[in-house]
Amino acid sequence: MFSWLDARYGNAFSVSTSTDNRRYGTDCYVYRQPIDITLCAKSKKGQIKKLGDLYGGLVSVYKRFSNGHVMFLEPVMVLEIHMPISLLSAESIEDAFDLFYGE
């Protein structure tokens, strides 16, 4: 699922550990930024803020601050996708970073 991210980002990309996935809902890291790729951000518990949509709403970008139990040391980028994940590109990740850090 993440081979294209590995190819694009190399050492700047890593898959989350199962512990991080359970605690923070993260799937992977790019530039050490925790990222959660999901089909439904509304199902996420805790403090979450929608930052905007990309590509006519095919990708929504959120900033998640907690999971309902603990505040995170750093916010998790949540990408809610409304398309096949195979269509998610490195450019969409870069555009999501722009929204995430440009807030």
Q: What averages of pLDDT result for each successive group of 10 residues across the chain (103 residues)?
A: 82 92 89 92 86 94 90 93 85 92 83
pLDDT of residue 85: 80
**Shortest CA distance to 30 belongs to which of 48, 7, 47, 53?**
7
What is residue 62's three-state secondary structure? strand
pTM of the full structure:
0.89
pLDDT of residue 77: 96
pLDDT of residue 62: 95
Dihedral through CA 46, CA 19, CA 95, CA 68, nearest 10?
0
pLDDT of residue 22: 84
Bridge-based pairing state of the strands 13-15 and 28-30? antiparallel
